[in-house]
């Protein structure tokens, strides 16, 4: 759904819509939320491998974040850039915990926007 929304609506409208979904749940807190976030992110990654579509950071991050939000788990989508060579990337975090990427991948980027 996230990839289709990006194609049909564009990035700005898709992010505006995602921001509305982020406000829906009452976030869980504490250790239980961390366990739930890790379990859901792992299940998402396992299932994502079965999809024949290319892995793309923005739609994948939107889909994972929305899955977390639906279950009342707080999560943020970060958008970052690096300059040499210029590249952009998106990833999902639960507080300080990285859920969608490896730390060495994300460490190359400077966050410029958080949803």
> pLDDT by residue (tens digit) across 56-107?
888 889 889 888 888 888 899 999 999 889 989 999 999 888 898 888 888 8
Where would I find the H helices in 1-115?
2-9, 11-22, 31-48, 57-70, 103-106
24 pLDDT more than 70: no
Chain centroid to Cα 71, Å, comes to 14
Q: Rounded to an integer, what distance in angstroms lies between the CA atom of residue 40 and that of residue 100?
A: 11
Q: Specify whether the CB–CB gap between 56 and 48 falls below 8 A.
A: no
pLDDT band at residue 9 using 50, 70 and 90 as cut-offs: low
Q: Rounded to an integer, what distance in angstroms lies between the CA atom of residue 16 and that of residue 62?
A: 12
pLDDT at 80: 93
State the residue for tokens 């707080």.
Answer: 74
């Amino acid at each position: 759904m996230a990839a289709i929304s990006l194609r049909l609506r564009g990035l700005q409208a898709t992010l505006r819509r995602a921001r509305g979904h982020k406000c829906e749940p009452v976030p869980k807190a504490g250790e239980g939320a961390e366990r739930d976030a890790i379990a859901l992110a792992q299940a998402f990654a396992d299932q994502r491998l079965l999809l024949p579509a290319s892995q793309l950071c923005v739609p994948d991050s939107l889909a994972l974040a929305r899955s977390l939000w639906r279950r009342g788990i707080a999560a943020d989508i970060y958008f970052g850039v690096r300059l040499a060579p210029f590249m952009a990337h998106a990833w999902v975090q639960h507080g300080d915990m990285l859920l969608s990427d490896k730390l060495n991948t994300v460490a190359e980027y400077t966050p410029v926007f958080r949803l």
